[in-house]
Every structure is written in structure tokens, then in C-alpha cells.
């Protein structure tokens, strides 16, 4: 699915070929970052409309290959840019993200703009409200470029479980971008936007960030409001930033973090600052490599090598680096694939054809048919509206919660969760942050893992423990694999440890080998 | 606590599908039984873990009874919400009969 928001053309039509930073008629060889754009707009050096046209030109040129979007909001983006132009001209503060193009994962509610979760069951639905994060980025002057593709209801690790077709990795179009936030990761990597928002339940921001060569952050549970994020597994879901640099990710984090009365699980206190200690280096900080995650089954040799090199780089920068055992994390995957489906089976019970989205009745299929009985309507609506992966997880969760199996599955998984938290707490007595690979391999070919769900689930082995613990983690690009594709390394921190996490991430970024930009445009170059 | 159950059967998958209001084709039933079996088998590695006396964690935050002041604040617009419903009658969501007889 793709389209344009307000009437007119079905595809974005970029007329402004002149890039705001290149001025040569071709997209800039190096994509301008969020801080750079906001600084330029705030000082009057850059016009928001030029920034928007430059990004729309890249979308026009490469989106047909990448398919990052479910919806490109070209007209709304132009209108927002014009309003911002007027604000700057009037001398009003245009905000910390002034003129910065941002993309939204399509499970974040946008008032009056289709929000699909890449599912047929929400077809045609127009949310009656904006998610809190959407309100905050727009209030900060960011310009929404569109809604991005995802695995249906954020269930997947490749963005292939989308009812609207897969997203392709900008670094190699025959490969997956990761998932579930694959559309946002690909859009940021391709220069369709400087920033992206995703959601991370078991790695759905960090794993696609790693596979697409961008920075992806899962904040501490409760630091970012989930109001307006369509629920998958409520005790694990967290919204977070994508960016092409650690500083840009920090900028976005600082805009979206903070208490929200509309989310009862949002923390009441002021959030940690992500930007406070960027550039301060890592001298004297204690960094632990998680032994179990660096040696986990299925982690490729090149991925382990980059993680070790990342640790060496931090040691060279003055950090005290050592190995640390966090024994219970090896049970994280099993616990997660009981807990997350259990919560999902409950959360997705609301898609019943009554209040929104698809309704199929026993008689004639139609939005106002009321023949047949209600159970028939539930069955028809849910069977036609959900894809295979969503059905699998609903059934897995229903089974894990059912009488007779609750203790053996769900109860046991909740105890494992306690053990993982305890083991992390013990590790953080000796270390400021922990280091681990993000994804077991570089981006894999489309279709390679769709036949066997368990193989797909193994992608999340290194990212899941942070969700179960509620802790923050960030994936930072660190070199390439034997196939030349991006590899990410994770920095993990204790709850509310974002300040030191971003500090270490910035040092890692500074030490990382240069990564080639996606070769989507005639003028390539590095970012 | 009893040990882990034996491998999930097609009857059990058919049962949970019914509980979850999902209608499966015979092919889906067979494929899902195989796939769910493989996932549950992997999940059984937690069986060997000694969790005696370990309290369960349902949520990463120790929150309880999060309350706000009991004051009226604006809510979602009723017409905007109802406009999204598949069927509406007299400002309410309209659904098929839920009982076996016409009132």
C-alpha cells in the first residue's frame, strides 16, 4: 500500500530537485543529519520547504525499490514546512527539531491519517487522536514524511509479515531490513528522513537498525509514553528513535521522553538526559562484554569479531573492559516467546469487528450487514483480517495462558524474567554499561526465514533480555560483515541509565570503521 | 509443579483457535500444529531451570494503583469515534444478534 494523504496525486511528486545542502540538482552525497537541519532552520540558513523537497526527491527516486512506506504524506509535509517558514519569519521559536523530516512506524496513531499496523484488520481506520510521541515531535517542529511499513502488529524480525509486502534493505535490495520497524530503519538509512520512530518489544528497533546501518534506541520502560502506540505486549513495548548518528538519536530521545498523564505506566520523574554527556569519552568507565550473548548459538563469526573490536576500541579510549556473565539471559528467548504472545493474545482480542476496522459477517460481507450471529462475525473478521504470524502468536499466547498450562509456561516465564533482572543487577554492580552483539547475522535474503518461525525468532536472542528487564539499550553501527553489509553493536545500561548509555554509544560511533552509504542514488558517498 | 506438557496436538490447536475466535483451514491447522510444537519445544529449555522460591515478574515497573485527581477532562469526540465503526445505530455500536432469538 502506498499513497498520498490529502487528495491529489497518488505518489509524491517532488518538484524541487535542488537539494538544500547540495545545490547541484542531485541529492546530496551525504545526507544532512537532524541537528544540522534543525540548526540551519533555526538560524534561517535553511528553508524547511527546501529540506522537505530534497527528502521527497529521494523518496520519489528510491521508494519504489525500498518500499519503506505504507503512506507518504507529501502534501501534509509541504504544508507543515510552509507553516514553519512562516513561524521562523515571524521570529517565533520553531523548536528543537525545526524542519527535521521524521517518519513514523505505522503502529503509531495519527489523527485522521490511516494507521494500519500493516494489517488488513485495521484497513480504512482513521485514528481519532495522535500518539503522545507524535504530538511531541510535531510540537518540536519536526515534519512527518509518512507512515512506515512493519511486520503486522510489530510481530516479526524482517518486515516480511506485512499485509502490504516487504520492505527492502537499502544496502542490498535483495535482503530484509530487519524488523519489525524495518520501514523506519530503511527510511532513515535511505535518507528519506533524518529521524524515525519505531517500537521495540523484543528488538524491533535495534535489530533493523543494525541490519540497515543506523542507530536504534530502546529506552527504559516507562520513559517514553506508549499512549497511541497500538499495543502488542504491553509490559515490553517501548517507543524509541532511529537516526544516522548517536547525537541525532539523543536529540530525538530528549524530545519524546518524559511523563505523560495519558499513560499510567509512564514514569512520573523527569527522564534522564541523552545528550548531557555526549562527547565526554569513556575514560574510566567500566564496560562488560556479556559472555552469554557474545557466545550464543547462531551468532556469526563476523558479528562476534565486530563486537570484540568495539570492546577493544572502548578500551583504547580509556574504558576498563572485561567479560561478565549474565547467566539467565540464555533463557530470555524462551521466556519472551511465552510472555509476549500471552500479552498479545489479550491485546489483540479487541479486533472483533465491532468498533473499528474490518467487519465480515455471516451473511453478505459488508460494513453494515448485521445478519448472522456475533460469533460468526468474530471468526470471519479475525480469520480474514490477521496474517499467519499474528494468528500463530495469538494461539501460542492463548495456549500458554490456558488452564493446566499456565504454571508450566507463563508462570515459569515470569520467574525467568525475575532471574534475568537479578543477573543484570549483579552485573551492574561491577559495570557501568554492558556490550553485546545486536543481531546474530547481517541482513539475510528475503524469504530465507519465512518458512520456519523458530528460525526467525532466533534473531532476537541478543535484544530480548533488555525488554524483559525493562532496561535501555542502543544499537550502534560498527563496521561491516564479510559480505560488506552493516553490523551493529549494542550498549546496554541499567534502568534510567540513558545518559551513560548514550555517552558510550557516542564513543563507539567515533571509533567505528566508516560505513558506505546505500547505493540508491547516482551520487553515492559515505554518510 | 508438574513437568512440561507433551507436544501440542491438532485437537489442542483447534481448541485454542476456537478460544481465540480464529477459524483455521485443515491445512492451516496442520501447519500451525507443527510450528507451535517447535516453538513450545524450544521454550521447554526453561524446564531445567531451578525457579523454586523465585517470585514472578509481571511488569518491569513496581507500579500499583496509578491514580489521578477525579476531575472531568475532555475525552475523544463521540462522533469521530463512531464514524470509524463498521455499523452504528442511535449513537451506539451496532452488532449482529448475540442471542439465538429475535427480540
pLDDT digit string (tens) for B13-46?
Answer: 999 999 999 999 999 999 999 999 999 999 988 8
Mean pLDDT of A206-224: 98
Q: Do A418 and B100 touch (CB under 8 A)?
A: no
The grid coordinates of residue A431 equal 559495570
Mean pLDDT of A497-523: 92
Q: Of A73, A157, A204, A466, which one is the catalytic site residue?
A: A204
Task: Give backbone dihedrals phi and psi of A400, rounded to 5 degrees, phi first.
Answer: -65, -25
Residue A140 CB-half CA count within 13 A: 25
- Is-cis flag, bond preceding A180, omega within 30? yes
d(CA A317, CA A511): 9
B25 belongs to a structural domain: yes
Task: Give backbone dihedrals phi and psi of B51, rounded to 5 degrees, phi first.
Answer: -115, 20
Q: Which of residues 471-510 of A touch B (CB under 8 A)?
A: 495
Considering only CB atoms, B20 lies closest to which of A373, A395, A411, namely A395
Of the pLDDT bands very low, low, confident and very high (cuts 50, 70, 90), residue A380 is: very high
d(CA A68, CA A147): 9
A8 in helix, strand or coil? coil
Through-space distance between the first and last CA atoms of chain A, rounded to whole angstroms: 29
Q: State how far residue B30 is from chain A, nearest Cα, in angstroms.
A: 12
pLDDT of residue B98: 80
For A78-112, the pLDDT digits (tens) are 999 999 999 999 999 999 999 999 999 999 999 99
- Is-cis flag, bond preceding B6, omega within 30? no
User: Is A370 touching B (CB cutoff 8 A)?
Assistant: yes
Left, alpha or beta for B21 (phi > 0: left; psi -120 to 50: alpha)? left
Active site residue A180: yes
Which residue has better confidence, A16 or A264?
A264
Quickly list H helices, A44-129. Answer: 48-66, 74-89
B82 belongs to a structural domain: no
B89 belongs to a structural domain: no
Considering only CB atoms, A394 lies closest to which of B3, B20, B60, namely B20
Residue A366 has pLDDT above 90, yes or no: no
d(CA A216, CA A241): 6
B102 belongs to a structural domain: no
The grid coordinates of residue A41 equal 532552520
Nearest CA-CA partner of A141 in A195, A201, A105:
A195
Domain at B41, CATH number:
1.10.20.60
Of the pLDDT bands very low, low, confident and very high (cuts 50, 70, 90), residue A27 is: very low
Judge contact between A17 and A25, C-beta under 8 A: yes
Residue A26 class from Cβ within 10 Å (0-12 exposed, 13-18 middle, 19+ buried)? middle
Nearest CA-CA partner of A407 in B56, B64, B15:
B56
Write down how long chain B is: 103
Which residue has better confidence, B69 or A63?
A63
d(CA A520, CA A172): 9
Residue A525 has pLDDT above 70, yes or no: no
A473 in helix, strand or coil? strand
pLDDT of residue A515: 87
Active site residue A105: yes
Residue B37: which domain range? 1-47
For A169-201, the pLDDT digits (tens) are 999 999 999 999 999 999 999 999 999 999 999
Query: In the CATH hierarchy, which fold is given to the domain comprising A34-332+415-511?
Result: Amidase signature (AS) enzymes (3.90.1300)
For A290-312, the pLDDT digits (tens) are 999 998 889 999 999 999 999 99
For A463-485, the pLDDT digits (tens) are 999 999 999 999 999 999 999 99
Which ipTM did the prediction report? 0.93
Mean pLDDT of A5-25: 34
pLDDT of residue A12: 34
Judge contact between A378 and A357, C-beta under 8 A: no
Alpha carbon dihedral A414, A417, A418, A423, in 10-degree steps, equals 160
Residue A143 has pLDDT above 80, yes or no: yes
pLDDT of residue A405: 87
Q: Which of residues 34-93 of A touch B (CB under 8 A)?
A: none
Enter the DSSP assignment of A334: H
- Taking every pair of C-alpha atoms in chain A, what is the biggest distance, in angstroms? 72
Active site residue A43: no
pLDDT of residue A23: 37
pLDDT of residue A66: 98
**pTM of the entire structure?**
0.93
Residue A363 has pLDDT above 80, yes or no: no
CB pairs under 8 A between A and B: 189
d(CA A218, CA B64): 24
Instruction: Return the number of other C-beta atoms located less than 10 Å from residue B89's C-beta.
Output: 12
Of the pLDDT bands very low, low, confident and very high (cuts 50, 70, 90), residue A517 is: confident
Report CA torsion sign: A383, A384, A390, A392.
Answer: positive
Q: State how many domains chain B has.
A: 1
Q: For A372-472, where are the E strands, in sequence order?
A: 433-437
pLDDT of residue A118: 98
Q: Of A118, A158, A162, A180, which one is the catalytic site residue?
A: A180
d(CA A334, CA A303): 22
What angle separates helix A74-89 from helix A34-43, to the nearest 10 degrees? 40
Q: Do B2 and A356 touch (CB under 8 A)?
A: no
Task: Look over chain A and give the mean of its residue pLDDT values, rounded to a whole number.
Answer: 92
Q: Which residues of A touch B93 (CB under 8 A)?
A: 354-355
Amino acid at each position: 500500500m502506498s499513497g498520498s494523504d490529502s487528495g491529489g496525486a497518488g505518489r509524491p511528486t517532488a518538484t524541487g530537485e535542488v537539494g538544500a545542502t547540495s545545490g547541484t540538482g542531485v541529492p546530496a552525497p551525504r545526507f544532512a543529519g537532524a541537528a544540522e537541519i534543525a540548526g540551519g532552520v533555526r538560524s534561517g540558513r535553511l528553508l524547511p520547504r527546501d529540506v522537505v523537497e530534497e527528502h521527497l526527491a529521494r523518496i520519489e527516486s528510491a521508494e519504489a525499490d525500498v518500499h519503506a512506506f505504507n503512506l507518504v504524506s507529501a502534501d501534509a509535509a509541504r504544508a507543515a514546512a510552509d507553516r514553519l517558514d512562516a513561524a521562523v519569519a515571524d521570529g517565533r521559536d520553531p523548536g528543537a527539531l525545526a524542519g527535521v523530516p521524521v517518519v513514523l512506524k505505522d503502529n503509531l496513531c495519527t489523527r485522521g491519517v490511516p494507521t494500519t499496523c500493516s494489517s488488513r484488520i485495521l484497513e480504512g481506520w482513521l485514528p481519532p487522536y495522535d500518539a503522545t510521541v507524535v504530538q511531541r515531535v510535531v510540537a518540536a517542529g519536526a515534519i512527518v514524511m509518512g507512515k512506515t511499513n512493519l511486520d503486522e502488529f510489530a510481530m516479526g524480525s524482517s518486515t516480511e509479515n506485512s499485509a502490504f509486502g516487504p520492505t527492502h534493505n537499502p544496502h542490498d535490495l535483495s535482503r530484509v531490513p530487519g524488523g519489525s520497524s524495518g520501514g523506519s530503519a530503511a527510511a532513515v538509512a535511505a535518507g528519506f528522513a533524518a529521524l524515525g520512530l519505531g517500537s521495540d518489544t523484543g528488538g524491533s528497533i535495534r535489530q533493523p537498525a543494525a541490519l540497515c546501518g543506523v542507530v536504534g534506541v530502546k529506552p527504559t520502560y516507562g520513559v517514553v509514553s506508549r499512549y497511541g502506540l497500538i499495543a502488542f505486549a504491553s509490559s515490553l513495548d517501548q517507543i524509541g528513535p532511529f537516526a544516522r548518528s548517536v547525537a541525532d538519536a539523543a536529540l530525538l530521545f530528549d524530545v519524546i521522553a518524559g511523563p505523560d498523564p495519558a499513560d499510567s505506566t509512564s514514569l512520573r520523574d523527569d527522564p534522564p538526559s541523552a545528550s548531557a554527556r555526549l562527547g565526554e569519552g569513556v575514560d574510566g568507565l567500566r564496560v562488560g562484554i556479556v559472555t552469554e550473548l557474545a557466545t550464543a548459538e547462531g551468532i556469526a563469526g563476523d558479528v562476534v569479531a565486530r563486537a570484540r573490536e568495539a570492546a577493544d576500541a572502548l578500551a583504547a579510549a580509556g574504558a576498563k573492559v572485561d567479560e561478565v556473565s549474565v547467566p539467565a539471559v540464555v533463557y530470555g528467548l524462551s521466556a519472551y516467546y511465552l510472555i509476549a504472545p500471552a500479552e498479545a493474545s489479550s491485546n489483540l482480542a479487541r479486533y472483533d469487528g465491532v468498533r473499528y476496522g474490518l467487519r465480515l459477517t455471516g451473511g453478505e460481507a459488508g460494513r453494515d450487514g448485521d445478519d448472522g450471529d456475533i460469533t460468526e462475525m468474530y471468526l470471519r473478521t479475525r480469520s480474514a483480517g490477521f496474517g499467519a504470524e499474528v494468528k500463530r502468536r495469538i494461539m501460542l499466547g492463548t495456549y500458554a495462558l490456558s488452564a493446566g498450562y499456565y504454571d508450566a509456561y507463563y508462570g515459569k516465564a515470569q520467574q525467568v524474567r525475575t532471574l534475568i533482572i537479578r543477573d543484570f543487577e549483579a552485573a551492574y554492580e561491577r559495570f557501568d554499561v554492558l556490550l553485546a552483539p545486536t543481531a546474530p547475522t547481517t541482513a539475510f535474503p528475503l524469504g530465507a526465514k519465512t518458512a520456519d518461525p523458530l528460525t526467525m525468532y532466533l534473531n532476537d536472542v541478543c535484544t530480548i533480555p533488555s525488554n524483559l528487564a525493562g532496561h535501555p539499550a542502543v544499537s550502534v553501527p560498527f563496521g561491516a560483515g564479510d559480505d560488506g553489509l552493516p553490523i551493529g553493536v549494542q550498549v546496554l545500561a541499567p534502568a534510567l541509565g540513558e545518559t551513560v548509555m548514550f555517552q558510550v554509544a557516542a564513543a563507539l560511533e567515533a571509533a567505528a570503521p566508516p560505513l558506505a552509504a546505500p547505493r540508491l542514488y547516482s551520487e553515492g558517498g559515505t554518510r | 509443579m508438574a513437568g512440561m506438557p507433551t507436544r501440542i496436538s491438532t485437537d489442542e490447536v483447534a481448541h485454542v483457535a476456537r478460544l481465540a475466535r480464529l477459524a483455521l483451514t485443515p491445512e492451516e491447522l496442520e501447519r500451525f500444529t507443527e510450528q507451535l510444537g517447535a516453538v513450545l519445544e524450544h521454550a521447554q529449555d526453561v524446564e531445567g531451570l531451578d525457579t523454586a522460591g523465585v517470585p514472578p515478574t509481571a511488569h518491569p515497573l513496581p507500579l500499583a494503583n496509578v491514580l489521578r485527581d477525579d476531575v472531568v477532562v475532555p475525552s475523544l469526540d463521540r462522533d469521530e469515534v463512531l464514524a470509524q465503526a463498521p455499523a452504528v445505530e442511535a449513537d451506539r455500536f451496532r452488532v449482529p444478534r448475540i442471542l439465538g432469538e429475535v427480540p
